[in-house]
Chains A and B, each alone.
Chain A
Amino acid sequence: MAVLLLAEVNNGELAMDATAKAVNAAKALGDITILAAGGSAAAAGEAAAKIDGVSKVLVAEDASLGHRLAESTATLIVGLADGYEHIVAPATTDAKNVMPRVAALLDVMVISDASGVVDGSTFERPIYAGNAIQTVKSNDAKKVITLRTASFDAAGEGGAAPVETVSVPGSDGLSSWVEDKVAASDRPELTSAGVVVSGGRGVGSEEDFKLIEGLADKLGAAVGASRAAVDSGYAPNDWQVGQTGKVVAPDLYVAVGISGAIQHLAGMKDSKIIVAINKDEEAPIFQVADFGLVADLFQAVPELTEKLG
């Protein structure tokens, strides 16, 4: 039994957290070969070789794989698929773009966002925005799976797997990259941060979101937002936590001015400790919070920021 695992590579750099979590989730499935693909991927491949439990690393470098364009990346994976029963990836937006394409080319169903591995063909996954957990058994010869990183711990580092270079089929010319608009930030990345501070509609404006950012910076945290805050224009969409945004499971999650709609809870309820600050004591967020504070956030957040540390 062998597993081909698509590493998360961004601009030549390995996203260690997401990749190491996927390795840990997939280790029960068989020997893991990592595929590091990109316009430049050699350094990412070297980094991936250090993850515990990795048997081999394949590096695929070609301009056509830059920016993880789905068409070329899927063609590459399908060409390598022989001999692997499982083809897996951390459930990032890149992998969600690529893996269903891979599955269709192999004529198998994709198993998206698996949150649990029961055995080699049986997986758990959240449906209905996390309101139900479905256990599915695949009858396909190959299983193509994206793994929800928030559900798994990261594998350690200390390995030294051999690294090989593989040839790349080249571009099919279907799509090309134009530009990235990535928000530059010194804060930790949302899905791998140990602490997340999120603001909701209650924050009231983009300007007042600075309060949330101030508390986040005090805690060395990533900043998140509810869909309501994003829809109201208070925060950018890549901060969105929830069913339609990112799924996070930090050690500490602080929800400020967030009522706790089901779609938001789906994105954060696996956090270890949840703190909720809301002036409405009836807000559903208090039903999942370990520590709730019924207070006006405009007083409580500055006070909390000052009193921490």
Chain B
Amino acid sequence: MKVLVPVKRVIDYNVKVRVKADGSGVDLANVKMSMNPFDEIAVEEAIRLKEAGKADEVVAVSIGVKQSQETLRTALAMGADRAILVIAADDVHQDIEPLAVAKILAKVVEEEQPGIVLAGKQAIDNDMNATGQMLSALLGWSQGTFASELDIEGDTAKVTREVDGGLQTISVKMPTIVTVDLRLNEPRYASLPNIMKAKKKPLDEKTAADYGVDVTPRLEIVKTDEPAARAAGIIVGSVDELVEKLKEAGAV
């Protein structure tokens, strides 16, 4: 079985986000970029499936700017076998919407015929939480979102999902799309020898046009603002004072 793992290049999760003063967006020029943390978990799970003998090939795919090549090299260094880069934008500030990404991925799935697509549940930049579900819809496949456990048994997979109020376990028909949540696994770090080896692994370059997908955004970004700042309050000296303040404020 082949595993397809879509990965996204996003601002590194440790970097403080700066909103541009003119409201045009978040400043991404000369900012450290990394693989979306949820996608790292998806890559890790794919590699573990291969190590467990349940998968024989892991293919990473990224859709975006040319620089996403670096993100794919990270996936290859972790253990993916080959990579596909689909260039869909020239400007690092242009985010490709989940619908367009899902349409391109659907074409890649047609070509590659994976048995499972493992994706991050959301990207930490646009926080849309949509690509996996959209891809599943376009393919008419089953979906197991927000997975914290995955167990593939023949032509079905058992997926335990993180839902409001607890956990839900469902059984989905293969082929399927699973979007992964934080507790599924702890992704490995790529070792230096593996980083060197990754440079020699195959990386195909395509464009959105090769797949005949129009990536024109459906959502026009009117503006991007800083969130309203919360005024800092006061430091109280003791528990008694805290109780008194809370009573004054009518909070208790």
Contact = CB atoms under 8 A, between A and B. Distances in A.
Given A100-B133, A289-B232, A178 B171 contact: yes
Interface stretch (B43-51, B80-88, B192-200, B222-230): B222-230
Interface of A: 10, 67, 69-71, 74, 92-94, 96-105, 107-113, 122, 125-140, 173-183, 189, 191, 219, 227, 231, 236-238, 243-244, 246, 251-252, 262, 269, 273-275, 281, 286-295, 300, 303-304, 307-309
B100 to A, nearest CB: 9
23 contacts: A97-B146, A100-B130, A102-B137, A104-B99, A104-B134, A112-B128, A126-B227, A127-B125, A128-B11, A128-B124, A132-B19, A132-B26, A132-B227, A133-B227, A137-B220, A178-B169, A178-B170, A183-B166, A189-B165, A237-B148, A273-B249, A281-B235, A292-B235
B148 A128 contact: no
Interface in B35-54: none
B21 interface: no
B209 interface: no
B183 A136 contact: no
A303 B236 CA distance: 15
Interface stretch (B66-74, B108-116, B239-247): B239-247
A110 B251 CA distance: 37
Interface in B139-167: 141-146, 148, 158, 161-167
B230 A288 contact: yes
Given A131-B19, A178-B171, A293-B239, A93 B162 contact: yes
Contacts of A96: 129, 145
Nearest to A290: B233
B137 A74 contact: yes
Given A104-B138, A288-B230, A94 B129 contact: no
A125 B217 CA distance: 16
A105 B137 contact: yes
Contacts of A131: 16-17, 19, 26, 227
B25 to A, nearest CB: 8
A67 B239 contact: no
